[in-house]
Structure 1
Amino acid sequence: MPAPQSPVRHLYVHVPFCPTICPYCDFHVLTRRAGLVEKYLAGVEEEAARLADRYAVDLDTVYIGGGTPSFLRDAEITALAQSIRRHLGWGRLENTLEINPGTVSAGRAALWRDLGFGRASVGVQSLDDATLKFLGRQHDARQAREAVTTLARQGFRVSGDLITAVPGQPLESDIRGLVDLGVGHVSAYTLTIEPGTEFARRGVTVGEDDERAGFEQTEALLTAHGFTRYEVSNYARPGQESRHNLAYWHNRTYLGLGPGAAGHYPAEGRWQKAEGGRQKAPLTPHPQPTAHNPPLTLRRTNPHLHDWLAGGRGEVQPVDAEEYVTDALFMGLRLREGVDLGDLTRRSGLNVSERYAAAIAANVGRGLLTLEGELLRATPQGWWLLNRVVTEFLEV
């Protein structure tokens, strides 16, 4: 049998508002219009209360992302933080706010700190003005540098986002610039052209050779400056890893709050509070399990803003033991530490080493995975080909 679930430890909150929509962005974002933010904040208050009423919550981390959470006005971000605290509490270990460099001032940074945020994820993307212009960013390199410096002075743990494989990008200069600013964490993502984005409509492409060069050069430069590549796209100085994102990569359960937010919940109300010896009804109807393949967890995605405000329920996907394992492998193999197959067996109730022995052996033989005892890791080549590796597990 799978191991029993503990209370929810992690919360993601989605703020969908942005000053402009970047040409590469395919997230649920929109520009603010009169009255929309007020309705959003009222909706967060209501949804947070519903979650608190139904689930036992004991948070380690809170992550407010978007969109551009720092685009909210001071009174708005204060109201958002107060709603979360009032109903769900606050993270004991880490509380992160995503920040656009153009929204930072010393006064605003002090407010965010007073609200309880200790980690800032800053959308630097590049420290080259021509690259920022190509990416459609509204800030320039000077603003990015000043934002990181201001946040560090306020005592934030600062992470800098970086986009790689951008045509004409001086990647080495970008990386050295971030290092010189003193960030403790870097998230480096390859420019990806998603369907429906402005870049896709323009016919912008990214060559595989450019992707691979950015992938390898980023690691070489950051590791030379004392950063560890602890996940495929994330680098940290010792102790600066993102505790919240590690919950995703370890395939842990977490709540999603706000329009477009995704959550990962245990099935069958394992977090639900009891009242009079009976469980309360789930937040959304659970798909009916089958006798032979009951869901182990549920993945729930909230609808976009207007449907969310109208009370839409979004999508609920049941995750059985096998899908839970393949999800955990796909996420966990992104980590340098890899996946403990014994722990995954205990969590899923499925004997992972036996069930996927052929896929493990085949990828070890190709040099894409290593297996030491029950610890399964991706090699550098395996990281690059991770989608192909996990496909073999799905086809078993």
Structure 2
Amino acid sequence: MTGIYVHVPFCLRKCPYCSFYSKPYDADTASRYVDAVCRNIAAYSYKGINADTLYFGGGTPSLLDAKQIGSIVEECRKVFLLDTAEITLEANPCSVDEEKLRGYRAAGVNRISFGVQSTDDNRLGFLGRLHDFKTAVKAVETANAVGFENISADIMLGAAGETCKSLIQTIDTICSLPVKHISAYMLKIEEGTAFDNDNIRNLTANDDLMSELYITAVDRLDMHGLKQYEISNFCREGYESRHNNKYWTGEDYLGFGAASHSFFDGVRYCCPPDTDAFIDAPVQPREVTEESVNRGEEYILLGLRLCKGISLDRIKCYFGRYAAERFLALAQEFSKHGLVKINSENVSLTPQGFLLSNGIISQFIDAVIG
């Protein structure tokens, strides 16, 4: 089954740490954008593609009203069937109310992800968020009251003034709300963002503190029954993000909208980050980013993001017996330092290993191709 991703690039105000493509919200542009998304989805009619996830990301998808979201969902149902689909909408807590949330639920959205980020209003202000924590609580509780049983919340680690104690308070408070899933992201200063300056770097967590915060988050979320299943993602049993899992397990997904990405039939491609060009084009522009994906390398690169890790048998199938032996030998070295677990021919990273995942994964890839 294929996953469908719809990028909604509109924001009321861009967060200073965000490097994703977005544009200021304008009602007329948003209306024309929704029409263009539906037109592009319709172009896939009769291609026989079935999907079981639909994800509205952004930007701020909750700036679209329920009728607009519903029109996209309905077009996807006609074209991709969406059999027993997980349909996720990212939402800013200050951009929803009871009427809007009821409308989204009636339109078929059955999973909602709120950008909560912190329980501390000063920290929310530092992050440039438009909501306070009281607003976030109301949004989560209202979503639950109108029928959203699958609710996710994002939290940000390492903002100015963050300590392990304050992070524990944030986690304890959010876990007292009716949430089934939490994404815990480490604040990273991205080039070209408003946060890209030394003053902000000096205010945010350094590497040592960030490591402590991350391990604290893993342990505290586990204590609340939210088990880690990916570097940044935690959930109660049965509430993994089915759509995001497609990215990490190498399944097909189709992206619609400006700055959306796709992986289909072994090819990676994107739609350029240009809202006007997307709206005006009869069919969205397509730029190939990777024409021939190395499935073996990608299996290592993406599979080691998951707590379940990767199979040595599949490494052997992709690279051969001797490469698999080199891979296992390296894994055993990493395990001595508490960075890797080896269980029943399966290799996975520990939370400490996740902190060094880029370097570890690079060494694993070098081992199998060397």
Q: Summarize deviations over 1:324-353 as a string: whole Å, max 9, x none.
A: 22222122111111113435666xxx3465
- 1:175, 1:221 within 8 Å by CA — same for their partners in 2? yes
Q: What do residues 90-114 of structure 1 show as CA deviations (whole Å, max 9, x unaligned)?
A: 3514111111101221111111111
**1:192–1:320 distance in 2 versus 1, CA, 3 Å:** same
After TM superposition, the structure 1 stretch with the greater mean CA deviation from structure 2, 168-177 or 186-195, is 168-177
What value does the CA root-mean-square deviation take over the aligned residues? 2.0
Structure 1 residue 182 corresponds to structure 2 residue 178: yes
1:71 pairs with 2:42: no
Supply the distance in 2 between the matched residues of 1:343 and 1:391 (Cα, whole angstroms): 18
- Partner in structure 1 of residue 279 of structure 2: 309
Q: Aligned match of 2:341 in 349, 356, 370? A: 370
Q: Which residue of 1 aligns with 2:353?
A: 382
1:10-29 CA distance string (max 9 Å, x none) = 11111111111000000011
In the alignment, the residues of structure 1 paired with residue 175 and residue 306 of structure 2 have an alpha-carbon distance, to the nearest angstrom, of 22
Contact 1:326–1:393 (Cα < 8 Å) also in 2? no
The 1:34/1:366 distance shift into structure 2, 3 A limit, reads closer
Q: Indicate if the aligned counterparts of 1:262 and 1:299 stay in contact, CA closer than 8 A.
A: yes
Kept in 1: contact 2:89–2:109 (CA 8 A): yes
Local SS of the residue matching 1:161: strand
Change (3 A) 1:10 1:216: same
- Segments of structure 1 that go 5 or more residues without pairing to the other structure are 1-7, 267-296
CA distance in 2 between counterparts of 1:181 and 1:309 reads: 39
Task: Out of 88-97 and 297-306, give the one that drifted further.
Answer: 88-97
Q: Deviations over 1:51-76 (max 9, x none)?
A: 334x4221111111111111113332
Q: 2-side partners of 1:256 and 1:352: how far apart?
A: 34
Runs of 4+ in 1 over 6 A off after TM superposition: none
Match of 2:41 in 1: 48
CA-CA distance at 1:303 after TM superposition: 0.8
In the alignment, does 2:278 pair up with 1:324? no
**TM-fit CA distance, 1:319:** 5.2
Separation (CA, whole Å) in 2 of partners of 1:352 and 1:251 = 20
Seen in structure 2, the aligned counterparts of structure 1 residues 42 and 352 have a Cα distance that, compared at 3 Å, is farther
Compute the displacement of 1:376 (Å).
1.9
SS in 1 for 2:10: coil
In the alignment, is residue 220 of structure 1 matched against residue 222 of structure 2? no
Q: Would the alpha carbon gap of residues 320 and 78 (structure 1) be closer, same or farther in structure 2, given more than 3 Å must change?
A: closer
Residue 24 of structure 2 corresponds to: 31
What TM-score, normalized to structure 2? 0.89
Amino acid at match of 1:251: G
TM score, norm. by length of structure 1: 0.84
Partner of 1:129: 121
Aligned to 1:194: 190
Change (3 A) 1:307 1:393: farther
Cα distance in structure 1, aligned partners of 2:41 and 2:67:
18
The structure with the largest helix share of the pair is 2
User: How far does residue 163 in structure 1 lie from its aligned partner after superposition?
Assistant: 0.4
Deviation string, structure 1 residues 274-311 (Cα, Å, up to 9, x no partner): xxxxxxxxxxxxxxxxxxxxxxx111111112333343
SS of alignment partner, residue 117 of structure 1: coil
For 1:32, the aligned partner's letter is Y
Partner of 1:117: 109
Q: Give the Cα separation in 2 of the matches to 1:211 and 1:380.
A: 13
Please say if 1:105 is aligned against 2:75: no
Q: Who is 2:259 aligned against?
A: 260
Q: Distance in 2 between matches of 1:52 and 1:341?
A: 40
- The answer (yes or no) to whether the contact 2:158–2:186 under 8 Å persists in 1 is yes
- Residues 127-186 of structure 1 show CA distances to partners (whole Å, capped at 9, x for unaligned) of 111010000000111000000101111221111100011121321111111111121111
**Partner SS, residue 65 of structure 1:** strand
Aligned length: 354
2:67–2:107 Cα contact (<8 Å) kept = no
Asked if the contact 1:356/1:393 (under 8 Å) is kept, the reply is no
Gap change, CA 1:220 and 1:373, over 3 Å in 2: closer
Report the alpha carbon displacement of residue 232 of structure 1 after superposing the two structures with TM: 1.3
1:34 CA drift (Å) = 5.5
Question: Residues 264 and 299 of structure 1 are in contact (CA less than 8 Å); yes or no, is this contact kept in structure 2?
Answer: yes
Q: Superposed, which structure 2 residues align to 1:232-271 within 5 Å?
A: 232-266=231-265
Q: Return the alpha-carbon distance in structure 1 between the equivalents of residues 315 and 107 of structure 2.
A: 37
Residue 80 of structure 2 corresponds to residue 88 of structure 1 = yes
Deviation of 1:247 (Å): 1.3
The change in CA–CA distance for 1:194 and 1:352 in structure 2 (over 3 A counts) is farther
Tell me the distance in 1 between the aligned counterparts of 2:321 and 2:157: 36
